[in-house]
Amino acid sequence: MPLYLHDFIRNERKMSKTKLFILPLLLIGLLSNQMNAQSFICDENGKTPSGENCINTIITAVPFLRIVPGARAGAMGDVGLATSPDANAMHFNASKLANVSNTGSFSATYTPWLRSLQLNDVYLAYASGYYSPDETQTFGASLRFFALGSINYTDFNGQSLGSGDPSEFEITLAYARKLSDKFSVGVAPKFIYSNLANNQMVGGVDVVPAVAGAADISATYLNDIKLGEKNATLSVAAAISNIGSKVSYTNSKNKDYIPANLGIGGALTVELDEFNKITFATDINKLLVPTRTLVNETGDPDILDWKEHSPFGGIVTSFGDAPGNGEEFRELMLSVGAEYLYDEQFAVRAGYYAEHSTKGGRKYFTVGLGLKYNIFGLNFSYLVPTTNQRNPLDNTLRFSLIFDFDGGDVIEE
């Protein structure tokens, strides 16, 4: 989850809804020219003067692109790269769509945001669907909309600048194709629009909407195997998402990266008998964004040099730019999940998500249920935090509604 949301939640009782907006602008670098070297005090090995690991969360613009939209995946620790395909597959891995079992499907998901702070107008809405004309190819499309609620803008002296309804959205198209019975590939171009300030002025700087183009590429290997006398399906998948242009909310040359991500996942589904199945899945994700420069007490290094790479250069650099020993591995995010499915109609799910304390610190359990009758389905998920690090979805119930054109046999996300 983006650093600005974590910092906001830590200080929630001291902050107004205006600051909910102002803080992300400051932290993702919109006013980065005003930052100074004293923002970080770390040595070249990523250690504080006391010898502890520096907190160095990777920061990007438009972090809403990485919010998991489906309630099924949300109930399984945000796992979704290699699980069975459904209408929400595009968020994780478009190539899964080549393996769908029906002609088409549509899903709509509503995710309340920060409900524990009594913010009733902040939410994520996601609609997605696919159409499969034959057994070798599938077309898909999705719309993601993130509303930040009605906000009263003020300057740093508290003077009113009017009000607005900042929001962001993403439109994605997808194409998946089987190259063999076991291997499929997918591509998903997208358009991203983020309007956080309604052309307001923040800190003397005009803030304008950010616009970007990007794409996802993915591949899936699917194989039917035997585990003793049980039929099973093994799936392995990889996806690079949000490969695209950098963005800026101002005329500054210091543009921000969008959250490019590498995900590798696996899933094993075992048919216990005619009516019962169980799936175990795991995903490992890494943001393909350069690690922020950490400066020492002298302040000699340029705090903005981590932004100077091109989008592609930033992806390449992200594999080896973290300071010190082991920090590159601390940037990995782990998801594990399980799903029990009865008669393709009732599902029980659980999962766990973890990331290192210096890279965001999110750790939480998830649980959920899925119900399906004929062509309609409904999924629920619930997040249970395990640390003091608050999450925007703490103790929030979210749900997905599914419609299968011809019945299908998958309880979707």
Domains of the chain: 3-404 (2.40.160.40)
Report which of 66, 76, 88 is spatially closest to residue 336, judged by C-alpha positions. Answer: 76
- DSSP-derived 3-state class of residue 4: helix
Q: Which residue has the tokens 């998948």?
A: 237
Q: What is the pLDDT of residue 389?
A: 67
- The pLDDT score that the predictor gives to residue 240 is 98
Tell me, what's the pLDDT at 177?
97
* Nearest alpha-carbon partner for 90 in 170, 193, 210: 170
Maximum C-alpha span of the chain: 72
Q: Which residues pair with 241 in a beta bridge?
A: 261
Which element (helix H / strand E) includes 253?
A: none
Pairing of strands 276-287, 333-342: antiparallel
- Residue recorded with tokens 């499969």: 132
**What pLDDT does 215 receive?**
97
pLDDT at 15: 36
Query: Please, what's the b/e burial string for 34-67 (b: 16 or more CB within 10 A of its CB; e: otherwise)?
Result: eeebeebebbeebeeeeeebbbbbbbbbbbbbbb
CA distance 259 to 210: 14
Q: Compute the distance between CA of residue 120 and CA of residue 99 in angstroms, rounded to an integer.
A: 38
End-to-end Cα, the chain, rounded Å? 20
DSSP state of 256: B
Radius of gyration, CA atoms only, the chain: 22
| Length of the chain (residues) | 413
Separation of alpha carbons 260 and 380, rounded Å: 28
* DSSP single-letter state for residue 146: E
**Torsion region of 243: left, alpha or beta (phi above 0 gives left; psi -120 to 50 gives alpha):** beta
Residue 280 three-state SS: strand
Phi, psi at 263, each rounded to 5°: -125, 135
* 211/192 Cα distance (integer angstroms): 6
**What is the token pair recorded at 141?**
């499309």
pLDDT tens over the chain, length 413 residues: 333 333 333 333 333 443 444 334 433 443 333 333 334 456 666 677 777 777 888 889 999 999 999 999 999 999 999 999 999 999 999 999 999 989 999 999 999 888 777 778 889 999 999 999 999 999 999 999 999 888 877 766 777 777 788 899 999 999 999 999 999 999 999 999 999 877 666 666 778 899 999 999 999 999 999 998 999 999 999 999 999 999 988 877 778 999 999 999 999 999 999 999 999 999 999 999 998 765 544 455 545 567 888 889 889 989 988 776 788 899 999 999 999 999 989 999 999 999 998 888 889 999 999 999 888 999 999 998 887 766 777 777 889 999 998 754 444 44
